[in-house]
Amino acid sequence: MFREACTLSLWFSCICLFYGYGTYASFYNYSTTTQCLVEPLESLYGGGIIVNPEFNNNTEGWEVFGQGKIERRLSKKGNRFLVAHSRRNPLDSFAQKVQVEEGKIYSFSAFVQVSEGTEIVAVVFKFPNREGIPGGYVIAQHRCWTLLKGGIVANFTSPVDIVFKSKNRAVDIWVDSISLQPFTKDEWKSHQDKSIDEVRKSKVRIQVTQGNKTMANAKVSIKQTKSNFPFGCGMTHVILTSPGYQNWFTSRFQFTTFSNDFKWYSTEVVQGREDYTTIDAMLKFAKQNGISVRGHNIIWDDPNMQPLWLKSLSSEDIGNAAQRRINSVVARYKGQLIAWDAVNENLHFRFFEDKFGENASASFYSAARQIDPDTTMFMNEYNTIEFSSDEQASPVNYKNKLQQILSYPGNANLKEGIGLESHFAAGQPNLAYMRSGLDLLGATGFPIWLTEVSVGKYENQPQYLEEVLREGFSHPAVQGIIIFAGPEISGYNETVLADNNFKNTPSGDVVDKLLHEWKSATQDTTTDDQGFVDVSLFHGEYEVTAKYNVANASATLSFKVTKTNPQAVVQVQMDT
């Protein structure tokens, strides 16, 4: 049973998160991911392959890692947990050695606390003769048990030590309810498919009537005309002069991000001479073809991505120039974009913070919001879900920066979005780490977009691209995906989807397959004895046509399927 931390009001969400349905605990219900608990909950999956996950058998299965000491302790309420103390190095803690198998995905979880203050604690997978691979992070607090989630994908069969890390050697690390659960890729995909059915589709009942009479055995055809999930592709200015690129793009995508043309260094090459000609032409093309556009970006925090003339200015003049930039570009395109990447990569870089203090990014958000309050303003960052060794951009640090921006005076009601670039390197993506990051950030309630998806050049690039896209689409917190890819002529050279003749590459075949798979196929069916048809449809816009040959009657109706209406009834009324 649950320990006291799971109060009555949390009972159902705890059931979903830690026990799930069937054999798979719901990683998609992230409502308790960031909660502070007086006592930890029970181990997920009963600990999986972990020996003694709740320390009921003293320290069996666990040993000291590095220097320092470990001991089992008992809380006032009788809960047993493990403590690493007298630590001299960041990795001094405790470890358990387990065997991982090549190709399997290992989902990790544990409840963590520290002896004082607040510290970032990581789980590290230490393979023999290799550097440790971080598998997840948590902001651990004193007097509070917080869930650490993460994991790895094993690239080879090997023993591995599971170790905990804190850079502050003065704090003791407390851990309880540890779990490491393996999944095959087929099992992982089946979980993705189940989630897609639950979060991207709704059940719809269609009834065909004529006057007051229900029409049994009427022929019904249901056709999707538009998808509600934004699955788009980056766009470069080359599209303006290439009919082939235009046809390739418009036949597939209704959402885009201009890859470089909105950036400050593109629109103001010479100080004081703004040129929006290219953006205006691209935006006109997008509007003519029903393509929605994300604005990328207003300000970039990378010192190497500023207009060349900016760096020679005084700090005061840089501040004035940045304000003019915001006033100009945001006002010009107010109401024409579905989003802004307001400040780009402000976890990795701090060009403006170094000049104007820690609230520089927050002040830029405030300025943009005052001009365009109805457009969602995104943080946009790389390595947050794609590279676990980059602690600087980890999900916990992303969340901290987000909270800092929102706490700035006037930003409390900011329409904020979470932009995750998702530039995956060549090689197997760590889907367990990706999912745990989406869980943690999804718990904020802000919309998540994968904004610049790409996968490094590699013989298995098509497979890995599909795995990343499926993971994103199956997660309920993800509300849009843009891939930074395209035909060879577009200039995207990391993930190429078509050659110069616009013939698909294998990665292009993956994208086309998913575009088709994530759209309801036209369904031709017949009503039952009560005039009903029951179907499960992807969220989007539809057209239904009903025919009754005996009476030579027919009718056509348009309707929408949304996640806010999980059991819709659509009535098709035939003329008498």
Tell me which of 39, 54, 268, 452 is the catalytic residue: 452
Pairing between β-strand 478-483 and β-strand 80-85 as defined by DSSP bridges: unpaired
Q: Is 198 known to be catalytic?
A: no
CB atoms within 10 A of CB 299: 25
Q: Are 234 and 485 in contact (CB under 8 A)?
A: yes
Residue 240 DSSP symbol: G
The Cα–Cα gap between 95 and 162 comes to 5
**Phi/psi class of residue 147: alpha, beta or left (left: φ > 0; alpha: ψ in -120 to 50)?**
beta
**What is the C-alpha separation between 285 and 253, in angstroms, rounded?**
13
* Measured distance between the N- and C-terminal CA atoms of the chain, rounded to whole angstroms: 61
Closest to 81 (Cα-Cα) out of 119, 115, 33, 116 = 115
Going by C-alpha positions, the residue among 450, 415, 457 that lies closest to residue 435 is: 450
Cβ burial of 428 (10 Å; 0-12, 13-18, 19+) is buried
**Residue 326: closest CA among 359, 346, 286, 298:** 298
Q: Which candidate, 537, 389, 514, places its Cα nearest to that of 463?
A: 514
Active-site pick, 54, 345, 381, 466: 345
3-class secondary structure, 30: coil
Residue 66, helix vs strand vs coil: coil
**35: closest CA among 136, 106, 108, 112?**
112
Q: Catalytic site residue 116?
A: no
- DSSP line for 265-316: HHH-SBTTB---HHHHHHHHHHHHTT-EEEEEEEEE--GGGS-TTGGGS-HH
Buried b (16+ CB within 10 A) or exposed e, 54-75: bbeeeeebbeebbebebebeee
Q: Which residues are catalytic?
A: 345, 452
